[in-house]
Amino acid sequence: MSNAETPVARDLFIGGSYRSAASGKRFETRDPATGELLAEVAEAGFEDLDAAVKAARTAVEGGPWAQMTPRQRGKVLFRAADLLMSRVDEFARIETRDNGKPIFESAKIDMPACAEALAYFGGYADKVYGRTLPSGTGSFLFTLREPVGVVGAITPWNFPLLQAMWKIAPALACGNAVILKPASLTPLTALLFAELLSQAGLPPGAFNVVPGPGEVIGQAMAEHPGIDKITFTGETETGKKILRAAAGTVKRVSMELGGKSPNIVFADADLEAAARGAFNGIFYGKGEVCAAGSRLLVEKSVHEALMEKLVERAKKAVPADPLDPKTRLGSLVSEKQRDTVSKYVERGVTEGARLVAGGHKRDVGGKGAFFEATVFDGVSPDMEIAREEIFGPVLATLEFGSVDEAISLGNRVRYGLAAAVWTRDIKKALRVAREIQAGTVWVNTYNFYDPGLPFGGYKQSGFGRERGEEAMHEYTQVKSVWTDLG
């Protein structure tokens, strides 16, 4: 989509080239900020999926990808990182138009983080070590870490290319082939990235993209006997369906699911920093962030002071044109998502929470799926807005009186993706970090990520880890070799 203003046809990417779907079917993707048609995208069916599986299997079973050395594979990823950064403006603009997120986020955060992931895992490609085991002189025992084979990646729409990259980069670094099914609302950057990977030297079949409806093509991937592993990011309920579908072939699975993360502010915190952190924790990425700090837990004695600072910020955060570099709150991903968010807000009001900022749909120039930065106060733990993932710019604020109460409130939901604690007391910070049931805990900050730091869920936020060395374990399997020297 070199000219993002003109609707284009986008095809599936299978075996190193673009092609239309065998059925000829296409679906539309639109800019949620304007309603404009961006592209008509080929919709993969079973025949196309079979073709992608065949191409991927060939790539890992004796094809040119399988024959490359680990270091050569790493170099492909390094080149891809450089190529992506050389086209950062083009990719960022497409991402913003497809998703509605501010161009500031796409260009300054998402795309650089994609390139970082490629470079980080490129560096790992020749460092996937096995182990030698102590044994007697009559034998030699060692392990090999081998690729799992063909990886099916199913991704959501909130960070379209970045969520995919945290799967693609480690999977390719370990020598697997990847079949990616991006979310139907945001398939464009993944499709464009396929060509970029080829330019970086990735052989045909090692990366394939098959957009299509999750219940059809996603489900078929989970069931397909030619796919060895499913790596999924999305809703917890979708994750359960995939687990059931994958059971038939005893497929490996990893699950990055939803969250309802507590952002815990103690009275001894730097309140200015905590207010900023509470704001960014929920409104960055329009709140369509799995790790969003959507539950603000505040110690009673500073509740009023903190809320004053936070509400003032929230009221100033007016949704605006996502393509304006100054915009920090863009359009939600779709009208449907905005309706969902709106219903949760109505529910919060009905249940008796106090709406202290935002709460309404907005438009920019008469268009778009915008929603105000919304803050609820006086929320009690049993209200829906305190328990369910809203996936929008809506914060639920609760009060606590002691460290024990903060921890117990923090752990009260079925999710366990992330949490944060704000305090100047290191002992308190570390106690909370240990006792909160979450895969990531931030201390005096929020929403920071590093390709080397593992990320994933406790409880119903999933299992398996993305990033860091742990990610390499998700895409390899261990072979033990016993050699008799007697």
Residues engaged in binding ligand NAD (CB under 6 A): 154-158, 163, 181, 183-184, 214-215, 218-219, 222, 233-235, 238, 241-242, 256-259, 290, 389, 391, 417, 457, 461-462
Phi first, then psi: what are they for 355, rounded to 5°?
-80, 115
What kind and span of H or E run contains 371?
Answer: strand 367-371
Strands 476-484 and 139-147: antiparallel
**CA-wise closest residue to 373 among 246, 293, 286, 308:** 286
**Residue 299 vs 389, nearer CB to ligand NAD:** 389
- Min dist CB 330 to ligand NAD, Å, is 16
100 vs 214 by CB, closer to ligand NAD? 214
For residues 245 and 249, give the distance between their C-alpha atoms in angstroms, rounded to a whole number.
Answer: 8
Q: For tokens 């406790």, what's the residue?
A: 458
- Helices 160-173 and 188-199, axial angle in degrees (round to 10): 30
* Beta partners for residue 133, in sequence order: 141
Task: Write down the least CB distance from residue 182 to ligand NAD, Å.
Answer: 6
Look up residue 450 and give its two tokens. 């590093």
DSSP state of 153: E
The amino acid sitting at 86 is S
Q: Give the number of other CB atoms < 10 A from CB of residue 367.
A: 15
Residue 411 pairs in a beta bridge with none
CB of 167 to ligand NAD, least distance (A): 10
Residue 465's closest CA among 245, 259, 233? 233
Q: Cβ 389 to ligand NAD, closest distance in Å? A: 5
Rounded distance, CA 43 to CA 218, Å?
A: 12
The partner residues of 473 in beta bridges, in order of sequence, read none
Alpha carbon of residue 317 to chain centroid: 24
Residue with tokens 């106060």: 377
Dihedrals φ, ψ of 368, to 5°? 100, 160
CA distances to 52, 218, 221, 261 from 179, in Å: 7, 11, 9, 31
Catalytic residue annotation: 256, 290
Give me the least distance between CB of 401 and ligand NAD, in Å please. 30
* Closer CB to ligand NAD, 147 or 457, in the complex: 457
173 or 417: CB nearest ligand NAD: 417
| Shortest CB 186 distance to ligand NAD, Å | 8
Kindly tell me which of 258 and 262 has the beta carbon lying closer to ligand NAD: 258
Structure tokens at 459: 């409880």
CA torsion through residues 148, 153, 158, 160, sign: positive
Tell me the closest approach of the beta carbon of residue 464 to ligand NAD, in angstroms. Answer: 10
Please say which residue, 235 or 425, places its beta carbon nearer to ligand NAD. Answer: 235
Residue 210 vs 406, nearer CB to ligand NAD: 210
Minimum separation from the CB atom of position 258 to ligand NAD (A) = 3
Q: How far is the CB of 183 from ligand NAD (least distance, A)?
A: 4
CB 170 within 8 A of CB 121: yes
Sheet holding 139-147, edge to edge: 132-133, 139-147, 476-484
Q: Which of 251, 221, 194 is nearest to 10 (CA)?
A: 194
Phi then psi for 297, rounded to 5 degrees? -105, 120
Tally of CB atoms within 10 A around 175: 24
Toward ligand NAD, which CB reaches closer, 149 or 234? 234
- Closer residue to ligand NAD (CB): 161 or 242: 242
Listed residue (260, 396, 390, 292) closest to 337, CA to CA? 390
Q: In angstroms, what is the C-alpha Rg of the chain?
A: 23
Sign of CA dihedral 32, 36, 41, 46: positive
Of 31 and 389, the one with the shorter C-beta distance to ligand NAD is 389
The least distance separating ligand NAD from the CB of residue 113, rounded to whole angstroms, comes to: 13
